[in-house]
Amino acid sequence: MPCIEIENLIHVYFPGTPLETPALVDINLTVEQGEFLALVGAAGSGKSTLARHFNGLLVPTAGRVRVLGGDVADRRYRRQLWRKVGLVFQFPERQIFSGTVQEDIAFGPRNMGLSGAALDERVLWAAEAVQLPEEALRADPNQISGGMRRRAAIAGVLAMRPEILVLDEPGAGLDGRTRERVLRVVKELQNTEKMTVIIITHQLEDAAAYAHRVALLKQGRLLAAGGAGDILVREELLREAGLEPPFTVELAGELSRSGVLLPQTPLTPDDTVKLLAPRLVKDNRKPGGDPC
Ligand code: ADP
Ligand code: MG
């Protein structure tokens, strides 16, 4: 069942003024309930603009965006959307302003009307979902590590228990291990809570490791959308969009140019090992082959 339906969406910032900027051009895309979609594209391709239509922060200049059955152009419907669609902005920790991490996570659900034990329970659930240790809840948000602050910010959105979770560059500025941890937590939530997850990223390794489907933007246009395994292996298409293919895809390309053909293109390091290992073992067993 689709939870987001985008039809002929056009978005122009400041139309009719000298600052007029067409940001999205004729986008058609459907997001299915419960899926993990990666919205990818180079800087300025329109990813954040598109995502801001999902919770009604922006409305179409033309065309239609329906989210969870309602039209985002409808002002009354839009007022309910912030509870249903959680948008974690890029560098969300910059929006943390409470004295403790706990208060910060409680901000959203409190505005939704939760209080007392129900509120505490919700905050604890969200903190646990992002694997924040309990002592971090009592800390000053400015005193914890960058990775923890990012997870605290995600917890603040999760605490509203949105049906759709949109994360704008959730890995930006984090080191590799922390980035992986944040994304794993999100993937786990998508699995256990059956939440629809949309991540925005220009790092295709992240899309390859976690997303079912990929939508590729270039200069405000949807260049392609489809299964991660179909889109992310198209080196030329990705480069046309100004993106680096996942390194496993580049590696497979190099191998094929050296005469080593894998049965399919691997999307992750694990896939690469699985596809390559049997070949290496076989080659090493050849008489006269180097066993090392
Ligand atoms: P991305 O998230 O892929 O980097 P954006 O959606 O931020 O892309 O930007 C798409 C286009 O819209 C760019 O040309 C950008 O300069 C422009 N843009 C983005 N936000 C605004 C804004 N608030 N006002 C005017 N133009 C904007
Ligand atoms: Mg952006």
Q: CA geometry: angle at 80 spanning 75 and 84, to 5°?
A: 130
Pocket probe for ligand 1: among 49, 88, 199, 219, the residue whose CB has the most ligand atoms within 8 Å is: 49
Give me ligand 1 centre to Cα 276, in Å.
41
Q: Give the residue-averaged pLDDT of 11-22.
A: 96
How far apart are alpha carbons 74 and 80 in whole angstroms?
10
Of all residues in the chain, the percent with pLDDT exceeding 70 is 96
Q: What is the pLDDT of residues 204-262, one digit of tens each?
A: 999 999 999 999 999 999 999 999 999 999 999 999 999 999 999 999 999 999 998 99
Predicted local confidence at residue 171, as pLDDT = 84
Predicted local confidence at residue 129, as pLDDT = 86
User: Which listed ligand is nearest to 15 at the C-alpha?
Assistant: 1
Q: Give the residue-averaged pLDDT of 19-36.
A: 97
Q: What is the pLDDT of residues 30-66, one digit of tens each?
A: 999 999 999 999 999 999 999 999 999 999 999 999 9
Q: Which atom of ligand 1 is the closest one to the Cα of 14? A: 25
15 or 181: which leads in pLDDT = 15
* pLDDT band with cut points at 50, 70 and 90 for residue 292: low
How high does pLDDT run on average in the chain? 91
Pocket probe for ligand 1: among 21, 39, 57, 201, the residue whose CB has the most ligand atoms within 8 Å is: 21
In this structure, the strands spanning 164-168 and 196-201 are: parallel
Protein residue with least CA distance to atom 16, ligand 1: 44
* CATH number listed for the domain at residues 1-84+201-243: 3.40.50.300
Q: Which atom of ligand 1 is the closest one to the Cα of 19? A: 25
Ligand 1 cavity residues, CB under 6 Å: 13, 21, 23, 41, 43-49
Domain ranges of the chain: 1-84+201-243, 246-286
User: Which listed ligand is nearest to 242 at the C-alpha?
Assistant: 1
Q: What is the pLDDT of residues 74-91, one digit of tens each?
A: 999 999 998 899 999 887
Give me ligand 1 centre to Cα 21, in Å.
8
Of all residues in the chain, the percent with pLDDT exceeding 90 is 72
DSSP run (H or E) holding 119: helix 116-129
Q: Give the residue-averaged pLDDT of 265-276.
A: 92
Output the six-digit token pair for 226: 């489809």
Give me ligand 2 centre to Cα 143, in Å.
27
% helix / strand / coil in the chain, to the nearest 5?
A: 45, 25, 35
